[in-house]
A and B are shown apart, each in its own frame.
Chain A
Amino acid sequence: MKWKEALKSRRRLIIFGTLALCILLIAVLAPRFMPYDPVKAPLKDALQAPGGAHLCGTDTMGRDVFTRVVYGARISISNTMLLLGVVLVLGSFLGVIAGFFGGTVDTVIMRVSDIMIAFPDLILAIAIAGILGPNMINAITAIAVVSWPRYARLARSLVLKIKNRDYIYAAYITGSRNSYLLRQYFLPNILPTVIVTAATDVGTFMLSLASLSFLGFGVQPPTPEWGYMLSEGRTYMQSAPWLMIYPGIAIFIVVSVFNLFGDAVRDLFDPKADVTKNL
């Protein structure tokens, strides 16, 4: 009955993994089952209260809020994944290079990362996104620029941990090239930890992107993005509170699910220590 125990110890992973998968499916399949268009604006239906034909009401342009919230998952998830991919690749690449080659390369990369880390959370990202011009690609660039150092430091510390092991020396002496060493020994060693860290960061990145859009430095209308929808809804708080309630609920649920999923993944691989905590 071994599989039963395995199943039990992975219960949280299975539950939250399934929920995350459901959210992904809803996002992917949205165009197939949503009856309204998220962008086209039938102005005569503007600002209808929730109920009847429109489950969550309509916005100032007469668009169905529920449709826009569901489509928002597509925007939010795809952008978060793009951001996560960029940060993961860029951060690990620079970190591995810094740790592997040491010397000047290491100093330069680490000093630059010191500069990025000398800023509290979103401040620098706001400045970068704002100056580059408000659109989603620039917002992703901005957050990537301020987030890679955390991954670089993690990857670097993992490289340094195994750099002086005997098997690395042995490989080196037997004539392995740098590229082979990196591919064969270093990458397999650092990837699991880095990916687990990334899994726990999905929620945070999602919130950062939504924050930038909320401030007007992310997606532009008419894209249905949750942060942007909230900032739109804010103006009509008095007359149409549903505009700011439903996108918020969506962010909250999706971020919760991804956070819980990330935690479950981390617990599975590394039940005791949170590696990133001391960085």
Chain B
Amino acid sequence: MQKKKIISRLLQMLIVLLGISFMAFLLTYLAPGDPITAMYSAAGVTPKPEQLEAARKAMGLDKPFIVQYGTWLINCLHGDFGTSFSNKQNVLSLLMLRFKPTVRLAFFSMLLMLAISIPLGIISAVKQYSWCDNLIRVLNFLGISMPGFWLGLLLQYIFALKLHMLPVASSTLDMKRMILPCVTLAVAMTSKYTRQVRASVLDELSMDYVIGARARGLGKWRILFAHVLPNAMLPLITLLGISFGSLLGGTAVVEMIFSYPGLGEMGVRAVRGRDYPLIQGFVLWVALIYMLINLLVDISYSLCDPRIREKR
């Protein structure tokens, strides 16, 4: 991608981010009940009316909406996302604290998913319409309809409660604890990717260059691995970027089931507890990460595919 194009994409991103910040702020403004009461109830205190009034003044809630938004936005730009209502910690540091476990979970589940879906997709495409292919396709169909939260519960029931092989939830962040959430997320994604791999390998196999390579006497496996696969993997990049971006936003449901200390779990807790600064910070952060990843994907895509580089 040209420098100019990247810069214009970044500018567009800024505009969208501004919109998102406005929306995040508006959300808490629209909420029934006021944030001060929410703050006190999150802290578990019943405030006196004078206290409410004083706190409202101190937080600038008596000012007009636009002024409030402006102040908040300027603070955000200085890296100050405010203080969480429920545990009085800095929102940014809370986000950072939760980000690392989420990155680990996202990374390993993507790895596991690729390890399953690429071979399955290739087998399915190479042996099209064989019993192998049919079996894989039926499994895909079932996988797409499988609710992630139910799968998580079933895995928890079987492997943690019945077989006692893995912990239901533990306080340390070790590999053992990550296995079940990882598998749940990976299985949930596998169907989509297996389908995609199958479709793009089939696409490539029908190209003329495959016939050419065969005519030149290249072996079947050589054609598949040296020529077809690199081309077939290209469309996966975009899809991978989107999945990775959404995993980094924290997968609320799976993280909740396994009480995994990631962003999604924190987000759900924040929403439940009406912890407004934390919700705003979380929403902004997730959107930022998601958009950045998508931009990186587009850039890397043009690096990997010479045709797009030439076309400009």
A119-B286, A123-B250, A131-B279 as given contacts; A237 in contact with B268, CB under 8 Å: no
- Does chain B have a CB within 8 A of A50? no
When chains A and B are docked, how far (Å) is the Cα of A230 from the Cα of B154? 11
Residues of B within 8 A of A237 (CB): 153, 156-157, 161
A115-B16, A237-B157 given; A132·B144 CB < 8 A: no
Q: Which size class do A's interface residues fall under?
A: 35 or more
Are A121 and B246 in contact, CB atoms less than 8 angstroms apart? yes
Question: Chain A residues with Cβ under 8 A from B290's Cβ?
Answer: 118-120
Tell whether A73 is near chain B: CB-to-CB under 8 Å: no
Given contacts A118-B287, A119-B286, A130 and B271 within 8 Å (CB-CB): yes
Contact assessment for A120 and B145 in the assembled complex, using a CB-CB cutoff below 8 Å: no
Closest to B160 in A: A237
Known interface pairs A121-B246, A122-B253, A244-B157; A127-B283 also in contact (CB < 8 Å): yes
Range of interface residues on B (Cβ < 8 Å): 35 or more
Check: A234 CB closer than 8 A to any chain B CB. yes
- What is the total of A-B residue contacts with beta carbons within 8 Å? 121
- Chain A 126-165 interface 0/1 with B at a Cβ cutoff of 8 Å (1 = within): 1110111100000000000000000000000000000000
CB <8 Å contact, A123 and B271: no
Q: In the complex the two chains form, what is the Cα distance from A112 to B279 in whole Å?
A: 20
B279 adjacent to A127 (CB under 8 Å): yes
Q: How far is the CA of A227 from the CA of B147 in the complex (A)?
A: 10
Are A131 and B150 in contact (CB-based, < 8 A)?
no
Q: Which residues of A contact B (CB under 8 A)?
A: 111-112, 114-115, 118-124, 126-128, 130-133, 203, 207, 210-211, 214-217, 227, 230, 233-234, 237-238, 241, 244-245, 248, 251-252, 255-256, 259-260
Which B residues fall within an 8 A CB radius of A?
12, 15-17, 19-20, 23, 27-28, 30-32, 141-142, 144-150, 153-154, 156-157, 161, 245-250, 252-253, 256-257, 264, 267-268, 271-272, 274, 279, 282-283, 286-287, 290-291
